[in-house]
Structure 1
Amino acid sequence: MTINLQKHSPQSQTLQPDRTSHPAPDVAIFLRELHGGGAEKVLLNLARGFIDRGLSVDLVLARASGHYLSQVPPEIRIVDLQAKWVPLSLPKLVRYLRQVQPERLLAALHYPCEIALWAKRLAGVSTRIVVTEHNHLSIESKRIPQLSVRLTPLAARLFYPWADEIVAVSQGVAEDLSRITRLKRDRIQVIYNPIILPELFTLAQEPVEHPWFRSGEPPVVLAVGRLHPQKDFPTLIRAFAQVRQVRPARLAILGDGPERERLIELIESLGLSNDVALLGFTQNPYAYMAKAAMLALSSEWEGLPTVLVEAMALGTPIISTNCKSGPAEILAQGRYGELTPVGDSDAIAAAILKTLAAPKRIIDPEWLNQFTWATCTQQYADILGVSQPKMK
């Protein structure tokens, strides 16, 4: 069994038992892979925050693949467990913990959180394990038919009590997790995601080549997210069909996923092929956000939707379903954006039309501060028990 460590070198290194050549990092972060999801982006942002504070970081991946892999800074050591299936990463993670013995490991998503907890027990090490919950589990487990997803509430109830610390990304997620696990609410800490990075504003100024975003074109409603049933893009597309009957506009959706063909069929059946575009995944959605007339989120459930914070920081008007959980917290119960019922295309259409006709809302900088890179990185450093070097 081998474990590969990489620092953006074409030559992978094999992890050997000699810890003098591979010293323990200040923080290890364990994920499945680095595909284009919000949670993966958040953990990468957090890793960058630790590096910026002068800490060493191991990014331990069940499989080193995904859109964000190219964005990993060279200072971060990538540990590729090369597991074809996430549960198969357990014995290699056990070996990593025994050999490297990091003082602390942060895990996110299912089942990396449960695997990390089991790995600590099997490895017999003192590594401090912090698990983070990014989704509203009780809804997710009912809406997605996969057995592995159906079992996540049970897995959390059985194994999350083993964690040294438990973090939820929103108050709604924390309350839901408390009910599922039967843990006291004060056992779960809430830390918002480190979303607002300094370069967000620079990236937002980059040009967008798509002709819809040129000056003088009809307003563009932008949606960003994986093409997955959770995001409920069919309801958004049906709502946009109503908007299109009232005034010229366009809908652009950034993201890839299993629902692509189904969404194309819906777009064609509604006669919207000239006004709705599925633009695929992009490394820089901020340039699109800054030039869009608004950002729309139609999700059936969330944890803390990253795109709402990004759009809010850029001053882009927002409409969102009032799903569990996160949108109401981010938008201050509707103060900073329109909230609509889940699955209601009529309400979404009305909110789009209202937002297109309304002036932009002014966001309190203090409100945005709770989602900044510096604030959230500090809160994670505190809960991980990392010393607090000064920011560079």
Structure 2
Amino acid sequence: MKQHKKIVVLVINCLQGGGAERVVLTLGQGFYELGYEVHILRFKPLVEYDLGPNLNYHVLRFKPYKLIPGSERRDRIFARAVDKYVSQNIGQPDIVLSNLDRADSILSNSKLPNIFYVIHNTVSLLYKFNKTSAADDLKSKMINIYSKHPCICVSKGAEKDFIKSFGDITPTIAIHNPIDRDGIKKQADAFVPDYQNYIIHVGSFKDAKRHDLLVKAYAQTDQSMPLLLLGQGKHKSETEQLVKELNLEEKVVFLGFCENPFPYIKNAQFKILTSDWEGFALVIAEALVLGTPVISTNCPSGPSELLPENNLMPMGDIDAIAEKMRQAMNNPQKFHASFDEKLLPAQIAAEYVGFAHSVNTKS
């Protein structure tokens, strides 16, 4: 008799752009390697990634449900549609992984078994809990959602912040993001950049990434290596303006969005991150795969779990960042760090399975 394959369903709003979307596909591959039948369910058809042949892809469009008045009622009705779709088109899942707030909100109303939330961010910083007057309302809404199912946080820092923000509302664990080492190495050889002896920063121009600090710190060095900025986003024009004011137009290169950043990372002298917060800091682990040295601010979650202390610098401190950049420009190899094979997709998927098992045996 043919043994029934275990089923995992990963749910996310769409597969466009960000790191969480890529993590979902890599994690799916990890489950496939463990022998699972893997289904990715999204609510918008948008895709910006190559969809590998080993996973099954589904779209259940949320858009028609937007006409239903009241967001909570809408989510409840759509959750019923999700449950029906899964039972008719996928079967009984052994694990359901919900990714990012749209999916989390909907699956808090689902009757599917074995739902787990994947927390991709440092929630208090992302949602500015300390800075907005509406934070208390938002917090109680989120507690209502996240108390329903166990949570898997992508770093120890993110887990600590989650518990500090919401209290001990549900079982949690920290499991790092999976890294597709072989895929990254292959993509890194796709082309050779037109630049040499450069510093690279990869990340969208948004609050967390602090391009302003990066550019100001770079201005304090001798600029003997050009600084390449890869990404796009709302603070890009401000950053371009800052580069002009500091007379760095000859030295700072805006590369825009690049579908495959890995050749730029592989060929850089070193990679820099000046963020105020990260969930896991995927870009650090990806640089380590390619043997590229990395320096990073020691923001609350991610970097210190991936890099030795020598590679870290204080957050928000332009002088300290400039000093670390000077050291790295003089001797990049001093900031080389090794890639941890525990981050390979099948190993990370196995940690998810272990946590799911432990939660189910307790309950």
Match of residue 23 from structure 2: 42
1:239 and 2:217 equivalent?
Answer: yes
- 1:78 is matched by which residue type in structure 2? H
Deviation at 1:56, TM superposition (A): 2.3
Counterpart Cα distance in 2 of 1:223 and 1:149: 32
Counterpart Cα distance in 2 of 1:231 and 1:203: 24
Counterpart Cα distance in 2 of 1:174 and 1:181: 11
8 Å CA contact retained: 1:321, 1:327: yes
Match of residue 350 from structure 1: 323
Counterpart Cα distance in 2 of 1:225 and 1:61: 24
> Alpha carbons of 1:317 and 1:143: their partners in 2 closer, same or farther (altered >3 Å)?
farther
- 1:178 is matched by which residue type in structure 2? I
Deviation at 1:343, TM superposition (A): 1.7
User: 1:131-142 residue pairs with structure 2 within 5 A?
Assistant: 131-142=117-128
- 2:177 is matched by which residue type in structure 1? N
Partner residue of 2:314 out of 322, 338, 341: 341
Shifted more, 255-264 versus 222-231: the winner is: 255-264
Partner residue of 1:114 out of 100, 105, 120: 105
TM-score when normalising by structure 1: 0.79
TM-score when normalising by structure 2: 0.85
8 Å CA contact retained: 1:48, 1:73: no
> Alpha carbons of 1:381 and 1:83: their partners in 2 closer, same or farther (altered >3 Å)?
farther
8 Å CA contact retained: 1:340, 1:348: yes
Deviation at 1:321, TM superposition (A): 0.8
Counterpart Cα distance in 2 of 1:221 and 1:144: 34
Match of residue 61 from structure 1: 42
8 Å CA contact retained: 1:232, 1:300: yes
Match of residue 361 from structure 2: none
Q: Deviations over 1:324-382 (max 9, x none)?
A: 111111114x15xx2112222221111111012123455456xx122222211211233
Partner residue of 2:163 out of 160, 167, 178: 178
1:212 and 2:184 equivalent?
Answer: no
1:295 and 2:271 equivalent?
Answer: yes
User: 1:263-282 residue pairs with structure 2 within 5 A?
Assistant: 263-282=239-258
Shifted more, 278-287 versus 187-196: the winner is: 278-287
> Alpha carbons of 1:259 and 1:25: their partners in 2 closer, same or farther (altered >3 Å)?
farther
Match of residue 294 from structure 2: 318
CA RMSD of aligned residues (A): 2.9
Secondary structure of the 1:67 match is coil
> What runs of 5+ residues in structure 1 fail to find an aligned partner?
1-22, 214-218, 387-392
8 Å CA contact retained: 1:137, 1:153: no
Q: Size of the alignment, in residue pairs? A: 343
Deviation at 1:35, TM superposition (A): 2.5
8 Å CA contact retained: 1:114, 1:155: no
- 2:191 is matched by which residue type in structure 1? P
Counterpart Cα distance in 2 of 1:175 and 1:143: 15
Deviation at 1:51, TM superposition (A): 2.8
Counterpart Cα distance in 2 of 1:45 and 1:90: 29
1:128 and 2:104 equivalent?
Answer: no
Shifted more, 152-161 versus 276-285: the winner is: 152-161
Counterpart Cα distance in 2 of 1:229 and 1:251: 19
**Identity level (%):** 27
8 Å CA contact retained: 1:83, 1:89: no
